[in-house]
Amino acid sequence: QVQLQQWGAGLLKPSETLSLTCAVNTGSFSHYSWTWIRQPPGKGLEWIGDVNHRGSATYNPSLESRVAISVDSSKRQFSLKVNSVTAADTAMYYCASAPVNSSSWHLDYWGQGMLVTVSS
Amino acid sequence: SSELTQDPAVSVALGHTIRITCQGDSLRTYYANWYHQRPGQAPLLVIHGKNNRPSGIPDRFSGSYSGNTASLTITGAQADDEGDYYCHSRDRTGNHLVFGPGTKVTV
């Protein structure tokens, strides 16, 4: 069982940097790939990217130029940064875990979600 | 446009069977996963891989494949099964993950 707790700033101005952190409270840290997903209000899910426990990250090509996902294994935390935000980045942001031995990269545990609003 | 396509909405009578489909070229190579999202809640994994149910998911949920299409079947739909269902898999390159646009299920 993996428990994820996420936090960060919920209100940003255009051009600022979005910064969220997700703590892995229980479960093996090295047996998972750590993932960020977002969901604009009233819309579907969008995969942002993921990182393994060694810090190797993969990103959604549509966001890659503005996104960075990092990991701190000693603190059992991983983080998301999105720079130069606009109103289009307003969304519920979720962190989630994907077992590294999965043949389908399924997301088995999710954080509670964090609403980030970008407004001037 | 999404690499995975889903019907926008499907309705089913209480106790009847519903099949939700997800189409995409990548599904000829990669498995799909299915998530159920109720309003105001985080998505919940209901089926992953070939046809695997996480602990706590009722056996009325099942997954199947045919060609470029993955299907989620709910046998004996309950009112609690209402919500949005998203499929999830790899993109055509295999390098990135993608979600389908979601299917809104009404019971």
- To the nearest whole Å, the CA of A81 is away from the closest chain B CA by 19
- To the nearest whole Å, the CA of B4 is away from the closest chain A CA by 12
Distances (CA, A) of B100 to A50, B26, B30: 18, 12, 14
Tokens of A22: 């997700």
Tokens of A41: 């209000």
Model confidence at B10, pLDDT cuts 50, 70, 90, reads very high
- The mean per-residue pLDDT over the stretch B17-42 comes to 96
Tell me the residues of B at the A interface, defined by beta carbons under 8 Å apart.
Answer: 30-33, 35, 37, 42-45, 48-50, 54, 84, 86, 88-90, 95-102
Contacts of A4 in chain B (CB under 8 A): none
- pLDDT tens-digit readout, B54-66: 999 999 999 999 9
Model confidence at B1, pLDDT cuts 50, 70, 90, reads low
Task: Nearest chain A residue to B103 by CA: give it.
Answer: A44
Cα–Cα distance, A12 to A34 (Å, whole number): 24
Q: Chain B neighbours among A 55-94 (CB < 8 Å)?
A: 58-61, 94
Q: Does A44 touch chain B (CB under 8 A)?
A: yes
Tokens of B45: 């994994």
CB contact under 8 A, B30 and A104: yes
- pLDDT tens-digit readout, A6-64: 999 999 999 999 999 999 988 888 899 999 999 999 999 999 999 998 999 999 999 99
Contacts of A106 in chain B (CB under 8 A): 33, 45, 48-49, 88
